[in-house]
Each structure stands twice: as C-alpha cells, then as structure tokens.
Amino acid sequence: MPEGDTVFLAGHRLHEALAGKTLRRGELRHPRLSTLDLAGLDVLGVRTYGKHMFTRFSDGNSLRSHFRMDGAWHLYRPGERWRRPAHQARAVLEVDDRQAIGFALHDLEFVPTVHEDRLISHLGPDLLAPDFDAAEAVRRLTEDRSRPIGLALLDQRVMAGVGNLYRVEVCFLLRVSPWAPVSSVDAERAVALSRKLLQANQWRPEQITTSDPRVRNWVFERTGKPCARCGTRIRSGDMDARTVYFCPNCQSV
C-alpha cells in the first residue's frame, strides 16, 4: 500500500510536468469515465491529501485518483516505453513533452473542483500539510483508547497518510506491539513520529526510517532477520488482512 509520502511525491512530479500545459491526449480507461475526452483542457495543477490526488483542469473539474494497494502514476517522454503493461493503464494524460500514465488506479472520479473536499471530509488531518493539526490528530487517535494502536495508526480518519510501513515502524519506535491498546501509548509522540517519518521521506522515492547504515527500516518486511537494536529475530503476524512486523523483545504488548 503506497504511503502518503509516495502520493505526495507523485503529485509534485505530475504538477511539475503538466501544470500550465494543454492536454494533447486525455483518456480515462475506467467504466464510468471511458466516454470522457479531456484533450484540449489545460492542467491547472495537482493537489494531494493523504493518499488522494486531485488533478485540476480548466473546465472546472478535477480527476480524483487513489492508489489503493498497487496504483501508481508514471511520467514518460514521448515515445518512451512504459514500465508496466498497457492493459493496466487507467489514465493517459499527455502534453507536448510528457506523458502521465496512471496504472492500476481502481478509484477514479471526475468531479467539480469545488467539491473536492466532499471526497476527503471524512479523513483526519493530512500529515504532510503545512498546517497539520497535531492536536486534532491526537484527539482522534485517543477517541477509542482500547483500540490496538496498529489499527488506529492505519485509520485514515485519524491521520491521513500512514500506510503499513509507517504504522509498524512507528510502533517499533514507540517500543510497543501493534496489538497494544492506544491507552498504553504516548499519543502525542505517536502523532509526532508519524509526521516526522513521512516528512523525512516526502522528497525521495525510497523510504528510510532508521539512521542505522545496516538497515533501511527497523522491522518492515524483515521477518526472521535480527533486530538492529537488540539482535532478536523479527517476527510477523496478521492484522486487518495485512502483515505487521515487530521485535518481540523491543516491543511490549
């Protein structure tokens, strides 16, 4: 699952490539949107919020895309070979010098730009927003203090942007198990760590959560490998149909 920083960086790159330019080709290969032809529209800009991206056009509408588990936007030069199969392309936005291809974007909506906020009104504060409301994120995180912290961190209604990688890394840095209740966690620190990790990676494609040169991440996808802090073998388990990773020695329940 792409994290909020992945979406942020993709949105920034699309904005740099398309904003202020006219679409020579604009195809949406989605059942509800396949009859739309966006060619001739100007791209006004690209906005992101958590894991949602809005590409704005001169007709007063926006294309909302969500990456889900395997979605991505790629940029290419004209004639350059795509790195994913053409049948996975759900959106093709082409200007004179660049192609933006949205692959495996299962969630696409074409809505009036003035209605963008309706689609994200249920979400918590965006961790990468300049005006991020930490107090509101803490309030939402602690609404159900009996809830496992691993579930609460991944809930986009609490904070927008945390994916599976950051939830397990935040739990490790807090020294708590993903199954520990929110009541056992320093909620302010959990919010601050979530924001810190996303900000640290928002301008690079690789996600690094540790300063230890031996490893990029403390526990994520490191099942069976020694913990970089104590040497205990990293373990994994299931939580909400996803795999979570943890050190049984460093992280208490």
DSSP single-letter state for residue 160: B
Straight-line distance from the first to the last Cα atom of the chain, in angstroms, rounded to the nearest whole number: 25
Query: Helix (H, G, I), strand (E, B), or coil: what is residue 135?
Result: helix
196 in active site: no
Dihedral over alpha carbons 5, 251, 156, 242 (to 10 degrees): 90
Catalytic residue, chosen from 221, 226, 242, 248, is 242
Catalytic residue, chosen from 27, 51, 98, 178, is 51
The count of other CB atoms within 10 Å of the CB of residue 242 is: 15
Where b means 16+ CB within 10 Å and e means fewer, 189-212 reads: ebbebbbebbeebbeeeebebbee
2 in active site: yes
Q: What is the CA radius of gyration of the chain?
A: 20
167 in active site: no
> Which has the closest alpha carbon to 128: 11, 210, 13?
11
51 in active site: yes
Cβ–Cβ under 8 Å, residues 229 and 249: no
Distance, in Å, from the CA atom of 221 to the CA atom of 166, rounded to the nearest integer, reads: 12
Residues with a catalytic annotation lie at 2-3, 51, 242
